[in-house]
Structure 1
Amino acid sequence: MSERSEQTGKRRSLFWRLWVRSLVVRRPQAALAVISLLVGASLASMLLNLYSDVHRKMTQEFRSYGANVILSSKGAASGGQAAVGGFMDGAAFQQVESLRSKVNGLVAAPVLYLVTRISRVPAGGPRLPDFENIVAVGSDFSALKVLVPGWRVTAGADDGPLGPGSCAVGTHLAQRFQLKPGDAVKLTAGAAQGETGSQIFQVVRVISTGSSEDDQVFVPLSELQKLGGLEGKISVIHMNIPGQATEIDRGVRQMAAAFPHLDVRPIRQIVYSQGKVLHTIRGLLISLMGLILAIIALCVMATMTAIVLERRKDIAVMKALGATNPEVTRLFLMEGASLGLVAGVAGFAVGGFLAAQVGMRLFGVSLGVVWWTLPLVWSATILLAALATFFPVGVMRRIQPATALKGE
């Protein structure tokens, strides 16, 4: 029994010595295999790093478009000032806030829309309009800025909520009335149904949104509720649920289950566009990686075949000395996996550097290293090298010691 154990130990020792020897001895074919695997690992690492950061930055870009889900009263129109005629209890917003733990990354803001009449105080010159009927927006302006980070403050304070008696005006409205921070405007509620109240607000900032908000005025929610006699009422709740289309749909279903008496509607244009763009990027990434890995696998397979043919006499000697086919197969698979390990680690570093350069030169953004891609690139390269070795192993199994040693 001890003699058999001693023989097994010697065979294992010889196996590892041969493995180390195959890695230490320099061969052009081995170098070519490492270079091929290095190219594949580098490109895979670069694409994965680019996709990961592009996915994150695309999500941020789509988030700058604002809400992708609207919560409103049933029967009210879903979107912006179209929902002026329908109101719901402001307590619904507190319920939405309680769902943050279930819907990760949820951002929400309660909004009240009210048709008002705006005029300058004091009145402007003869070339300025005396008044206009506009939509006043009551909300937490800080929450709206978080919800729609694409809004720009072109004049006045750039941060913080609107204080009592202060307002922000859209850039088009400011141009028509020649308003700037420090000026005052008068808002009169109920312009379409008969006046119900008025209040003077001081302009503290001018905003540019690139949409209909450029013709609106923003005031604190509580003050617009008081101005219109709508204490405790809001028109809609604007929400942004981060993630892909499936995650947004799941969040919408959770909201619909939590608010059966309200209307929960995704803004399909934003959700569909986000899902389509990310799906296209993912498909392109998978196609490119598949093509690259197939080409690299063929190259490595040819290289490993050349290595087997070059070492056919060594294989013949090992078989003549008693090495079995499984043992020789295991030796070559270990050699291929070792080449894949070296190429995978080096390729990850090269790919991260290339991704940073591509991001800076083409997109003007700084991309960091995505560390979760390291084990993925590493294991994929090792697996690719091992699989590419299987065909040469078939060649190795057909080598006959007597024929090979005779040089035939």
Structure 2
Amino acid sequence: MTLSYDELRALDARHVWHPFTQAGTAPPPILALGARGSTIYAADGREYLDLVSSWWCNLHGHAHPAIAQAVADQAMRLEQVIFADFTHEPAARLAQRVTALLPGDLDRVFYSDDGSTAVEVALKLAHQYWRNRGKDRTVYVAFEGGYHGDTAGAMSAGRSSGYFDQWTEMLFPFRTVPFPATWDDDDAVEAKEEAALAALDALLAAEGARVSAVIIEPLIQGAAGMRMCRPQFLKALEERIRAAGTLLILDEVMTGFSRTGDFFACRKAGVTPDLICLSKGLTGGFMPLSMTVARESIFREFLGQDLTRAFLHGHTFTANPLGCAAALASLDLLQAAECQARVKATEALHRARLDRLKSLGNVSRTRLCGTVAALDVGGGGEGYGAGIGQRLKAEFLARGLLLRPLGNVLYLLAPYCTTEAELHRAWDAVEEVLAAL
């Protein structure tokens, strides 16, 4: 049975609860019929250039034939199997491919479903790692403004982000230290880094023997407004964590798979974590899948002769073969010279267009890391709830551009297949809209 446009809209309005949306005031959602490359085709005949990679996960463009074919081929062989008793070729090959790109001895992959669960796994692994060693380490440390997902443990790590005030009673304690957010021409960056490191030093001096792990989004705090820090801060952070004898968790759910200009932010910063969380771009935006990758030394603390030392955690679709097949095909595309050249070209284009905006009176704190470009827009409030964000979003949708400002922060994070002409079209619209404001 084929439903009309109006019938589908009515079904959605009657039965569907959309995320991060106030249904009492939001306009009806756009009905997507299909997508190709960087373009989403809507039922009303309009086209939208996807400049946020559909929540930061689409690396190579929508409906990429190579990934679609890999998923289809895998579906004809093995679509799902319980991963507690079985393994399969896509999972084993994918683990090898990803760990080969990571620094140090990050060799052990635990699969789960999305970014939140990857963080949950990392937090639980850290806790049990110390427990298996007979040590009581129950203090966790995060950075102000950090966001790590929407499950209970991930929310606890991101409680300072301001997203989770409705559930504070459900969260376990986290210590927080300042995040030294920086931007172009920031004369105060070194002072901010020193203050952040001093706060961490004080915390470690007081409670270092009880600290289980420190978690951070490396180089870019995504949901906080694309807040960026320098690689040298991460290096100094790693040195202190090593001296304190605790664990470092990097949440690369958003920054992984070349978003920062290198395959992973940890490589760009020259840092080797103990645990790293990967998702979003892992499958090129096709399937839900995530990884928590641990050092070999952590894995060995869970070995024993009975279940008491084992990691008793899992998900129904752990290492789903379809997701692993999509991820392998996405890695093939990502590692191709053509894709890496586009990553570099995108960064150069963003740099030139950001610099042109600096003369506008309502533009401040321009910043760039790899293919992620961001700026603050003045005159309409600050923070995630700033009214200027909804106004900007509507202005860009009217021009056929999918841009979702984080409050007063406007950012571009497009699929790697987005052409220079498409990116210039987006930046031209940004200039036009901001100048009109």
TM-score of Structure 1 vs Structure 2, range by shorter chain: under 0.3
Question: TM-score w.r.t. structure 1 length?
Answer: 0.23
Higher helix share: 1
Question: TM-score w.r.t. structure 2 length?
Answer: 0.22
